[in-house]
Structure 1
Amino acid sequence: MQDYNVKVENLTKNYGKKAVLKGIDFTAKKGEIIGVIGKNGAGKSTFLENLMTIKDYNDGKVIVFGNNLQKNNEQLVFHSLPLKNYIFSQMFRINTITE
Protein backbone atom coordinates (compact mmCIF):
# COMPACT_ATOMS: atom_id res chain seq x y z
CA MET A 1 0.00 0.00 0.00
CA GLN A 2 1.41 3.37 -1.00
CA ASP A 3 1.94 6.20 1.47
CA TYR A 4 1.14 8.89 -1.09
CA ASN A 5 -1.96 10.25 -2.84
CA VAL A 6 -0.14 11.74 -5.83
CA LYS A 7 3.13 10.66 -7.41
CA VAL A 8 4.60 12.22 -10.55
CA GLU A 9 7.74 10.97 -12.26
CA ASN A 10 9.55 12.74 -15.11
CA LEU A 11 6.40 14.61 -16.26
CA THR A 12 6.84 16.43 -19.56
CA LYS A 13 4.36 18.65 -21.41
CA ASN A 14 5.01 20.53 -24.64
CA TYR A 15 2.92 23.04 -26.53
CA GLY A 16 4.33 22.62 -30.02
CA LYS A 17 8.10 23.04 -29.67
CA LYS A 18 7.84 24.87 -26.33
CA ALA A 19 8.51 22.63 -23.32
CA VAL A 20 6.31 23.83 -20.45
CA LEU A 21 6.94 21.01 -17.97
CA LYS A 22 10.39 19.41 -18.11
CA GLY A 23 10.97 16.23 -16.10
CA ILE A 24 8.82 17.11 -13.06
CA ASP A 25 9.13 14.73 -10.07
CA PHE A 26 6.62 15.25 -7.27
CA THR A 27 5.07 13.29 -4.41
CA ALA A 28 2.19 14.36 -2.16
CA LYS A 29 1.96 12.10 0.85
CA LYS A 30 -1.34 11.27 2.50
CA GLY A 31 -2.50 14.13 4.73
CA GLU A 32 -0.16 16.74 3.21
CA ILE A 33 -1.45 20.10 2.05
CA ILE A 34 0.45 21.30 -1.00
CA GLY A 35 0.65 24.71 -2.65
CA VAL A 36 1.92 25.23 -6.18
CA ILE A 37 3.60 28.60 -6.68
CA GLY A 38 5.61 30.19 -9.47
CA LYS A 39 5.85 33.00 -11.98
CA ASN A 40 3.31 33.61 -14.75
CA GLY A 41 3.82 31.05 -17.49
CA ALA A 42 5.82 28.68 -15.27
CA GLY A 43 3.41 25.77 -15.88
CA LYS A 44 1.43 25.73 -12.60
CA SER A 45 -1.97 25.47 -14.28
CA THR A 46 -0.74 22.95 -16.83
CA PHE A 47 0.70 20.78 -14.05
CA LEU A 48 -2.57 20.81 -12.08
CA GLU A 49 -4.64 20.23 -15.23
CA ASN A 50 -2.50 17.15 -15.93
CA LEU A 51 -3.18 15.84 -12.42
CA MET A 52 -6.92 16.40 -12.84
CA THR A 53 -6.89 14.73 -16.30
CA ILE A 54 -8.12 17.93 -17.96
CA LYS A 55 -5.07 18.09 -20.23
CA ASP A 56 -2.91 15.41 -21.76
CA TYR A 57 0.85 15.23 -21.13
CA ASN A 58 3.65 14.10 -23.43
CA ASP A 59 5.73 11.83 -21.24
CA GLY A 60 6.19 10.66 -17.68
CA LYS A 61 4.18 8.79 -15.08
CA VAL A 62 1.30 10.22 -13.02
CA ILE A 63 -0.37 8.20 -10.25
CA VAL A 64 -3.35 9.76 -8.45
CA PHE A 65 -5.01 7.80 -5.63
CA GLY A 66 -3.51 4.58 -6.97
CA ASN A 67 -4.67 5.19 -10.56
CA ASN A 68 -1.95 5.37 -13.20
CA LEU A 69 -3.05 8.13 -15.58
CA GLN A 70 -0.49 7.23 -18.21
CA LYS A 71 -2.02 7.32 -21.66
CA ASN A 72 -2.28 3.96 -23.39
CA ASN A 73 -3.30 3.84 -27.05
CA GLU A 74 -5.51 0.77 -26.59
CA GLN A 75 -7.09 1.87 -23.31
CA LEU A 76 -8.34 5.40 -22.91
CA VAL A 77 -7.73 5.33 -19.16
CA PHE A 78 -6.66 8.99 -19.23
CA HIS A 79 -10.06 10.15 -20.52
CA SER A 80 -12.22 7.88 -18.39
CA LEU A 81 -15.20 9.85 -17.01
CA PRO A 82 -15.63 7.63 -13.91
CA LEU A 83 -11.93 8.08 -13.11
CA LYS A 84 -12.20 11.87 -13.53
CA ASN A 85 -15.21 11.96 -11.20
CA TYR A 86 -13.34 9.91 -8.59
CA ILE A 87 -10.23 12.10 -8.78
CA PHE A 88 -12.24 15.33 -8.50
CA SER A 89 -14.23 13.97 -5.55
CA GLN A 90 -11.02 13.01 -3.73
CA MET A 91 -9.04 16.16 -4.54
CA PHE A 92 -11.82 18.52 -3.50
CA ARG A 93 -13.30 16.53 -0.65
CA ILE A 94 -14.52 18.69 2.22
CA ASN A 95 -14.25 17.15 5.66
CA THR A 96 -17.15 17.48 8.03
CA ILE A 97 -16.72 18.56 11.63
CA THR A 98 -16.84 14.92 12.81
CA GLU A 99 -13.94 13.94 10.50
Structure 2
Amino acid sequence: MHLRIYTQPKASRDEVVGLHGDELKVAITAPPVDGKANTHLIKYLAKQCGVAKSKVVITKGQLNRHKTVLISKPLIIPKAIQQHVADHSS
Protein backbone atom coordinates (compact mmCIF):
# COMPACT_ATOMS: atom_id res chain seq x y z
CA MET A 1 0.00 0.00 0.00
CA HIS A 2 1.48 3.35 -1.07
CA LEU A 3 0.66 6.47 0.94
CA ARG A 4 1.45 10.09 0.20
CA ILE A 5 2.13 11.67 3.57
CA TYR A 6 2.75 15.18 4.86
CA THR A 7 4.60 14.98 8.17
CA GLN A 8 4.33 17.43 11.05
CA PRO A 9 7.35 16.85 13.31
CA LYS A 10 7.60 18.04 16.94
CA ALA A 11 3.86 17.65 17.51
CA SER A 12 2.39 17.19 20.98
CA ARG A 13 1.33 13.61 20.15
CA ASP A 14 1.50 11.02 17.39
CA GLU A 15 -1.66 10.91 15.29
CA VAL A 16 -3.11 10.80 11.81
CA VAL A 17 -4.55 14.31 11.60
CA GLY A 18 -6.45 14.06 8.31
CA LEU A 19 -5.87 15.40 4.85
CA HIS A 20 -3.40 18.10 3.85
CA GLY A 21 -4.21 18.80 0.21
CA ASP A 22 -4.07 15.37 -1.44
CA GLU A 23 -1.74 13.92 1.21
CA LEU A 24 -2.41 12.27 4.54
CA LYS A 25 -1.16 14.51 7.36
CA VAL A 26 0.60 12.63 10.15
CA ALA A 27 1.76 14.42 13.30
CA ILE A 28 4.73 12.90 15.12
CA THR A 29 6.49 13.91 18.32
CA ALA A 30 10.07 13.41 17.07
CA PRO A 31 12.10 16.41 15.85
CA PRO A 32 13.30 16.60 12.24
CA VAL A 33 16.94 16.08 13.25
CA ASP A 34 19.32 13.31 12.14
CA GLY A 35 16.52 11.20 10.66
CA LYS A 36 14.67 10.93 14.00
CA ALA A 37 11.37 12.05 12.46
CA ASN A 38 11.63 9.47 9.66
CA THR A 39 12.49 6.68 12.09
CA HIS A 40 9.61 7.67 14.36
CA LEU A 41 7.19 7.90 11.41
CA ILE A 42 8.14 4.37 10.31
CA LYS A 43 7.69 3.05 13.86
CA TYR A 44 4.31 4.79 14.23
CA LEU A 45 2.94 3.59 10.87
CA ALA A 46 4.18 0.04 11.51
CA LYS A 47 2.39 -0.04 14.86
CA GLN A 48 -0.82 1.42 13.39
CA CYS A 49 -0.85 -1.12 10.53
CA GLY A 50 0.24 -4.14 12.58
CA VAL A 51 3.45 -4.83 10.66
CA ALA A 52 7.16 -4.98 11.43
CA LYS A 53 9.13 -1.75 10.97
CA SER A 54 11.00 -3.43 8.11
CA LYS A 55 7.71 -3.56 6.16
CA VAL A 56 7.44 0.26 6.12
CA VAL A 57 9.73 2.08 3.68
CA ILE A 58 9.95 5.76 2.80
CA THR A 59 10.36 5.60 -0.99
CA LYS A 60 10.41 9.38 -1.63
CA GLY A 61 10.97 12.42 0.55
CA GLN A 62 13.67 11.30 2.99
CA LEU A 63 14.67 14.95 3.57
CA ASN A 64 11.26 16.53 3.04
CA ARG A 65 7.92 16.77 4.85
CA HIS A 66 6.20 15.44 1.72
CA LYS A 67 6.82 11.69 1.61
CA THR A 68 5.73 8.59 -0.25
CA VAL A 69 5.61 5.56 2.03
CA LEU A 70 5.21 1.90 1.08
CA ILE A 71 3.61 -0.40 3.67
CA SER A 72 3.90 -4.07 2.67
CA LYS A 73 0.93 -6.31 3.52
CA PRO A 74 -0.66 -4.27 6.34
CA LEU A 75 -2.68 -6.38 8.78
CA ILE A 76 -4.71 -3.38 9.98
CA ILE A 77 -5.67 -0.26 8.06
CA PRO A 78 -6.78 2.52 10.44
CA LYS A 79 -9.97 4.36 9.42
CA ALA A 80 -8.19 7.63 8.62
CA ILE A 81 -5.82 5.77 6.29
CA GLN A 82 -8.69 3.75 4.74
CA GLN A 83 -10.44 6.98 3.77
CA HIS A 84 -7.26 8.37 2.19
CA VAL A 85 -6.62 5.14 0.25
CA ALA A 86 -10.24 4.97 -0.95
CA ASP A 87 -10.10 8.58 -2.18
CA HIS A 88 -6.90 7.94 -4.18
CA SER A 89 -7.49 4.43 -5.52
CA SER A 90 -9.38 5.52 -8.63
Fold shared per TM-score above 0.5: no
TM-score by length of 1: 0.27
TM-score by length of 2: 0.28
Q: Flag the structure with larger Rg.
A: 1
